[in-house]
């Protein structure tokens, strides 16, 4: 398919999600692509290129950092309510969406179900003793990206992570504090709303991981 048309569809989807928290209407994408069939083909080809992830029904479920259903986190600005695709994505939205201002990220601890909320902006990390846990190593995150995002979670503290791992039988992943999560989210999706955006190559991704303070083989770092 024409790369220009693919980029038109990609930008239209991201623009709608950024401004409204919702996907554009099917009729809008069909008009843009020339027909419903061409719009469907563009969506599927862009999914193959990892522009987004499709659910079992073939519809877009994740267009990082936005989700089209609940992954456990809501992100609310003064004007817009989004679903965050995971802990990482939820903290990224205020950095990506122009002029959205501070947001409230809300969820619940997966271990004890205590409500959790943070005021997140672009100036400094939120305060709190909460901890994030990522289950799937970076090299395997796209093996099943819906599973991956469903397991990038925020907990009350390390004790709650320990209880959740014991209850679920999951292996230890990677833990980080709110400062690290905020730095990690701040620049990862830079440029994604603009035409010509390109995903980071593995070496660039590893350099970014190192820059924001991530460490070890979980992130492909020595």
Instruction: Provide the mean pLDDT of the chain.
Output: 97
User: Which pTM does this prediction carry?
Assistant: 0.95
Instruction: Indicate the residue among 63, 83, 103 that finishes a domain.
Output: 63
pLDDT band of 221, cuts 50, 70, 90: very high
Residue 205 lies in a domain: no
DSSP assignment, residue 217? G
Say whether both 72 and 58 belong to one domain: no
The residue among 95, 190, 92, 96 whose CA lies nearest residue 132 is: 92
β-sheet bridge partners, residue 155? 131
Say whether both 73 and 51 belong to one domain: no
For 153, the 3-state DSSP assignment is strand
d(CA 17, CA 41): 20
Residue 15 lies in a domain: yes
Residue 174 lies in a domain: yes
The reported pLDDT for the residue numbered 222 is: 84
The reported pLDDT for the residue numbered 108 is: 98
Say whether both 97 and 190 belong to one domain: yes
**What is the per-residue pLDDT across 45-67, written as a single tens digit (0 to 9) for each?**
999 999 999 999 999 999 999 99
For the chain, how far is it from start to end, CA to CA, in angstroms? Answer: 40
pLDDT band of 144, cuts 50, 70, 90: very high
Say whether both 23 and 117 belong to one domain: no
d(CA 67, CA 152): 14
The reported pLDDT for the residue numbered 1 is: 80
**What is the per-residue pLDDT across 173-219, written as a single tens digit (0 to 9) for each?**
999 999 999 999 999 999 999 999 999 999 999 999 999 999 999 99
Say whether both 72 and 26 belong to one domain: no
Instruction: Indicate the residue among 39, 63, 87 that finishes a domain.
Output: 63
Say whether both 100 and 58 belong to one domain: no
* Contact between residue 8 and residue 38 where contact means Cβ atoms under 8 Å apart: no
Say whether both 24 and 124 belong to one domain: no
CA atoms within 13 A on the CB side of 202: 8
Handedness of CA 30, 42, 202, 155 (dihedral sign): positive
Say whether both 37 and 86 belong to one domain: no
The reported pLDDT for the residue numbered 201 is: 93
Strand segments, DSSP code E, in the chain are 53-54, 60-63, 66-67, 73-76, 81-84, 103-108, 115-120, 131-134, 152-155, 174-177
Residue 219 lies in a domain: no
Say whether both 107 and 171 belong to one domain: yes
Residue 45 lies in a domain: yes
For 26, the 3-state DSSP assignment is helix
Say whether both 9 and 119 belong to one domain: no
The fraction of the chain above a pLDDT of 90, given in percent, is 99
CATH number at residue 145: 3.30.450.410
β-sheet bridge partners, residue 89? none
The reported pLDDT for the residue numbered 153 is: 98
How many structural domains comprise the chain?
A: 2
Residue 220 lies in a domain: no
**What is the per-residue pLDDT across 103-138, written as a single tens digit (0 to 9) for each?**
999 999 999 999 999 999 999 999 999 999 999 999
Say whether both 140 and 192 belong to one domain: yes
Rg (CA), the chain: 17
Say whether both 123 and 180 belong to one domain: yes
The residue among 113, 110, 106, 111 whose CA lies nearest residue 90 is: 106
d(CA 89, CA 176): 15
Domain that holds residue 93: 67-199
């Amino acid at each position: 398919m024409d790369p220009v048309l693919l980029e038109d569809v990609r930008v239209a989807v991201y623009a709608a999600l950024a401004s409204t928290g919702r996907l554009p209407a099917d009729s809008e994408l069909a008009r843009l692509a020339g027909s419903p069939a061409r719009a469907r083909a563009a969506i599927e080809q862009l999914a193959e290129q990892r522009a987004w992830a499709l659910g079992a029904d073939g519809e877009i479920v994740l267009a990082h950092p936005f989700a089209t259903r609940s992954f456990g986190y809501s992100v609310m600005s003064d004007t817009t309510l989004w679903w965050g695709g995971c802990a990482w994505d939820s903290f990224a939205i205020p950095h990506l969406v122009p002029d959205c201002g501070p947001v409230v990220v809300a969820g619940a601890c997966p271990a004890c179900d205590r409500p959790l909320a943070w005021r997140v902006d672009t100036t400094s990390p939120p305060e709190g003793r909460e901890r994030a846990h990522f289950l799937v190593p970076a090299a395997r995150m796209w093996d099943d990206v819906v599973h991956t995002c469903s397991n990038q979670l925020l907990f009350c503290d390390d004790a709650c992570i320990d209880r959740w791992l014991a209850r679920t039988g999951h292996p230890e992943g990677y833990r980080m504090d709110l400062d690290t999560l905020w730095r990690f989210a701040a620049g990862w999706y830079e440029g994604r709303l603009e035409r010509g955006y390109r995903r980071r190559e593995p070496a660039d991704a590893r350099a970014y991981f190192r820059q924001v303070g991530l460490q070890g083989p979980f992130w492909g770092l020595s």
